[in-house]
Structure formats: structure tokens, C-alpha cells
Amino acid sequence: MEKVKVDSDRCIRCGACVAIAQENFDYGEDGESVVINEEVNDDVRKAVDMCPVSAISIEEVEETEEEKEAA
């Protein structure tokens, strides 16, 4: 399954991803973007394209046993 990640060191706090995909991103304590929902959807893909510093990435990860059971 795919999960979204943000490199907070690279993030320049422009807010684009939070505006585009509010269900997935929010502002952290220092105004950086943090992932609040790792599920990848069309809005997340748009945010990946819009991030000016390519701080957002989508990674293919193995599902945990717990996630498999919950699915």
C-alpha cells in the first residue's frame, strides 16, 4: 500500500499541501507541514505536484498485520 510522507526539514512552510489536502496535512508546532493521514488520494497526489521544494513523497510500504486485519 502507498503512504504519504513529508520531509519537514525541506518544507518551507508555504501551506500549499494543507490547502490542497486538508484531510492529510496540517501545520506542526513550527508551521511546518505534518501528515495527519497517510492515506494516498487524488488530493495528496496534487499536493506532491504542487510542493515547491518536493518535500512530499509517496512510498510503497508493506501493510502491517494490524492493517491487514483492519482492512
Q: Which is nearer to ligand SF4, 54 or 64 (CB)?
A: 54
51 closest CA partner among 24, 30, 20: 20
Distance of CA 43 to the CA centre of its chain: 10
CB of 39 to ligand SF4, least distance (A): 17
Strand partners, 5: 57
When asked if residue 21 is in the footprint of ligand SF4 (CB under 6 A), the reply is no
CB of 41 to ligand SF4, least distance (A): 16
Q: Which is nearer to ligand SF4, 42 or 69 (CB)?
A: 42
Residue with cell 494516498: 40
